[in-house]
Copies of this chain bind each other. A is one copy, B any other.
Amino acid sequence: MLAQLDKTPLDRLFHALADPSRMRMVERLCRSPASVSELAQPLDMSMSAVMQHLDVLQASGLGRSEKVGRVRTFHIETNGLRTAEHWISERRTSSERRFDRPRN
């Protein structure tokens, strides 16, 4: 276990993306909302593992769910994607600006 500063919402977003199963779920949800069984279908894992991954996505702000009758449907939260993208984009731009700067 590495020494750590306190977690922030951004770490939680990157942590949620740092797993191939959750990345697949995000890809699927970006196409359309989906039920738990639709999300589980391409993944070779128990329903309880799928639910744990979905909990991580929801806690990070990348997903939300709603229940209508007996069916729970998951949706992507575009704002979560936008927040993570913005952080990386700012860093990348600042590092590229540095390379473009004339050297004295």
Q: A14 touching B11 by the CB < 8 A rule?
A: no
Q: Shortest Cβ distance from A55 into chain B, in angstroms?
A: 10
Q: B26 touching A5 by the CB < 8 A rule?
A: no
Q: Shortest Cβ distance from A33 into chain B, in angstroms?
A: 10
Interface of A is mostly: helix
Q: B27 touching A19 by the CB < 8 A rule?
A: no
Q: B52 touching A94 by the CB < 8 A rule?
A: no
Interface string of A81-93 (1 = CB under 8 A from B): 1101101110110
Q: B98 touching A92 by the CB < 8 A rule?
A: no
Interface string of A60-103 (1 = CB under 8 A from B): 00000000000000001010011011011101101110110000
Interface string of A3-46 (1 = CB under 8 A from B): 11111101110110111110110110111100000000001011
Max count, chain B CB within 10 A of own CB: residue among A12, A24, A45: A45
